[in-house]
Structure 1
Amino acid sequence: MNMQDEIEGLAILVRDLRKHRGLTLDELASRINRSVGFVSQVERGLSRPTVADLTAISETLNVPTTYFYNVSKPRAVDWVTRPDERRTLYYAAGITDVLVSPKLNGGFSMLDSHLAPGASSGEGHLTDSAEQGGFVLEGELTLWLDGAEQAVTLGPNDSFQLPPHSHFRYANLSAQATRVLWVYR
């Protein structure tokens, strides 16, 4: 799949799940503090949500964020993924997440997150019901954890672990690309 196919796949998943949950565009927009126009554009594949937007959508629609990776690609071995078999989400604000886990119904999921220079998860703090952690492969990742006195910047080979329902945000404040292996449980 190419980038536009991936964006359209996400649009269909958001729209269909919203309708299945019996919410109007206005109700979803209100619950995630975004405009109806923005949600409509996401559902038509015209706008990409930020990480914060998609996390808010998943929490509002009562599914894990990994639900939106649920478009299957053919694989030769069901417990292995190769680069051309992976599902990718292209977010606004310079973040691309590649689902590297072979299955979504296991005890955890793994993402290869790519953050362009200046990329961020969005203005507001994220809150996710999943426990999650990460390992910085390249570049720098700055994390803001609600209640922490200051941001923490991690470099290559640094890792972090956040409990479920943490309020946090993250960004690449450096001039080089960042890659993080992100794990959700």
Structure 2
Amino acid sequence: MPQAPIGTLIRQLRKQRKATLQDVADRVGRSPAFLSLLERGLNEPAIDDLIAIADALGVSTAHFFSAPAAPAHPWRVKGDARREMSYQGGVHDTLLSPTLSGRFHMLMGEMEPGATSGDAAISENGEQGGLVLEGTLTVWVDGEEQTLAPGDSFQFDSARPHRYANLGDTVARVMWVVA
């Protein structure tokens, strides 16, 4: 399903909020030049950067999956009509849910070897869980490290500081549920 690139959506939100590049840069701890590169599509954000940008602009990171067209069906998504988002460093998410308006949404995440959610722990509102389908996923919640293999699942309060990475040598595929 066609959608605007992440950088275009960031720029549109920033302008709607009447914020300058410097305003947003100050809120996310990055330079205006970094944000300018994102907005122009010359760089992809890391997951922790996108979370900080979304927070600074007053939206959920799920906003960046938004597409102007309504879903073709209210509760089903065909495999060739899914919306996608790529992050810096080899992380790619595919939205499995038809909308973002429910109490939860599902994602299929793929992480290249060495890919990470970022060096800093993330804290967000909500809850999340998942099932590792392929490869391994290392998750840190409140500083506790767990390495998950195919068939392992997890669930935690997203307000708890967390991060994750693929420390293995093959692609990790994880089905995520985010509420």
Task: Using structure 2 for the length normalisation, give the TM-score.
Answer: 0.93
Provide the secondary structure at the position in 1 that maps to 2:89.
Answer: helix
The equivalent of 1:122 in structure 2 is: 118
Determine whether 1:177 maps to 2:176.
Answer: no
5+ residue gaps, structure 2, are none
How far is 1:90 from its partner?
0.9
Determine whether 1:31 maps to 2:27.
Answer: yes
Separation (CA, whole Å) in 2 of partners of 1:16 and 1:122 = 25
Say whether the 8 Å CA contact 1:73–1:85 is kept in structure 2.
no
**Aligned partner letter, 1:28:** V
The equivalent of 2:107 in structure 1 is: 111
The equivalent of 2:49 in structure 1 is: 53
Say whether the 8 Å CA contact 1:9–1:71 is kept in structure 2.
no
Say whether the 8 Å CA contact 2:71–2:99 is kept in structure 1.
no
The equivalent of 1:166 in structure 2 is: 160
Q: How many residues align?
A: 179
Separation (CA, whole Å) in 1 of partners of 2:148 and 2:168 = 11
Separation (CA, whole Å) in 2 of partners of 1:74 and 1:67 = 14
5+ residue gaps, structure 1, are none
How far is 1:77 from its partner?
2.4
How far is 1:95 from its partner?
0.2
1:83-123, Cα deviation, whole Å (9 max, x unpaired)? 21111111001100001101110110111000011111111
Separation (CA, whole Å) in 1 of partners of 2:118 and 2:147 = 17
Separation (CA, whole Å) in 2 of partners of 1:34 and 1:124 = 14
1:132-174, Cα deviation, whole Å (9 max, x unpaired)? 11111111000112343xx110011111112132211110000
> Aligned residues: percent identity?
44
**Aligned partner letter, 1:177:** V
The equivalent of 1:131 in structure 2 is: 127
Task: Using structure 1 for the length normalisation, give the TM-score.
Answer: 0.90
